[in-house]
């Protein structure tokens, strides 16, 4: 890879639009062939976190745009874990529901692992059920995986593939080890024959690793954390973070920012994702793709 004065901008929206067009066509084709109704996605959101409500509303709009049915269940922050599990059990038993998504984060009094494990793996559009994560780990080729893949990592791989970013034999560093992004993304990169290093809060000298990487993927929720001095010239930088800036950024308060200091890193990287407009659109597009996949499986 060579250093570019103007890096390749890895915009996610055109890629996401193409995926959504395919999903819409797929649903129309199924209806023409005799399916009585399109797939139905149900999203459960618990509590009053503003970002969660914005995200779930956006998912409902996109589902409608592609011809999918969607239902949004908004529960109070005081909802008990038992009550939430009751809702999930009812959706599991409903043959007219094809995809179930639990919007994260959940309130602190609810055990996230218990809730995600309660979703029927055959309706798990986020790919977070332990059984589905296990299938991901055991797959040699994620494209042949019969289950839905976690949306953000799968969307990241779609983006890299679309822009022709070579992965085989490259050193990829993933910063962040969450079950939602970091761990499944590392596995998908490994399946693409990259050599993968995962860094986290206990890693000694994270930047020593990122400076050796051909590809750096960051998902830690710290705005502007990765700066130009933390990468090598020509690196591909994938910013998966999305943060709403506070009053400590007076000129940009309320705006969205990634985990990468875009302006400085873009001068050194060969390719970089913007925030917003990078991985975000692909996460939602992959969700729709997963719902259709579970519907026909």
C-beta separation of 208 from 173 below 8 A: no
What are 107's two structure tokens? 């309130």
The CA-based dihedral angle spanning residues 208, 211, 212, 215, taken in that order and rounded to the nearest 10 degrees: 130
Q: Which of 40, 123, 124, 126 is catalytic?
A: 126
Residue 37 class from Cβ within 10 Å (0-12 exposed, 13-18 middle, 19+ buried)?
exposed
C-beta separation of 148 from 290 below 8 A: yes
C-beta separation of 247 from 267 below 8 A: no
Determine whether 205 is an active site residue. no
Determine whether 261 is an active site residue. no
Determine whether 103 is an active site residue. yes
Q: Which of 40, 103, 187, 289 is catalytic?
A: 103
Q: Which of 59, 123, 183, 268 is catalytic?
A: 59
Q: Kind of pairing, strands 171-175 and 215-218?
A: parallel
Residue 4 class from Cβ within 10 Å (0-12 exposed, 13-18 middle, 19+ buried)?
middle
Q: What residues are annotated to the active site?
A: 59, 103, 126
């Amino acid at each position: 890879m060579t250093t570019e004065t103007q890096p390749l901008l890895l915009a996610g929206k055109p890629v996401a639009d193409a995926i959504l067009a395919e999903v819409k066509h797929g649903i129309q084709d199924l209806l023409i062939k005799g399916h009585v109704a399109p797939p139905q996605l149900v999203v459960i959101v618990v509590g009053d976190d503003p970002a969660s409500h914005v995200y779930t509303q956006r998912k409902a709009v996109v589902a409608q745009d592609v011809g999918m049915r969607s239902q949004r269940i908004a529960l109070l922050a005081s909802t008990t874990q038992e009550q939430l599990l009751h809702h999930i059990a009812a959706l599991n038993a409903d043959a007219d529901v094809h995809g179930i998504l639990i919007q994260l984060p959940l309130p602190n009094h609810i055990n996230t692992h218990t809730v995600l494990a309660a979703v029927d793996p055959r309706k798990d559009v986020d790919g977070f059920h332990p059984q589905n994560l296990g299938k991901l780990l055991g797959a040699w080729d994620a494209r042949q995986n019969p289950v839905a893949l976690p949306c953000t990592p799968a969307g990241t791989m779609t983006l890299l593939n679309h822009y022709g970013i070579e992965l085989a034999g490259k050193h990829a560093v993933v910063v962040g080890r969450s079950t939602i992004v970091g761990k499944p993304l590392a596995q998908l990169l490994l399946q693409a024959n990259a050599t993968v290093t995962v860094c986290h809060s206990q890693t000694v000298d994270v930047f020593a690793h990122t400076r050796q990487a051909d590809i750096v993927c960051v998902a830690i929720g710290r705005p502007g954390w990765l700066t130009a001095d933390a990468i090598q010239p020509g690196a591909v930088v994938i910013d998966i973070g999305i943060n709403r800036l506070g009053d400590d950024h007076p000129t940009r308060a309320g705006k969205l920012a990634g985990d990468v200091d875009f302006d400085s890193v873009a001068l050194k990287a060969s390719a970089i994702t913007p925030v917003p407009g990078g991985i975000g659109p692909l996460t939602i597009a992959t969700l729709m793709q997963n719902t259709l996949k579970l519907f026909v499986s």
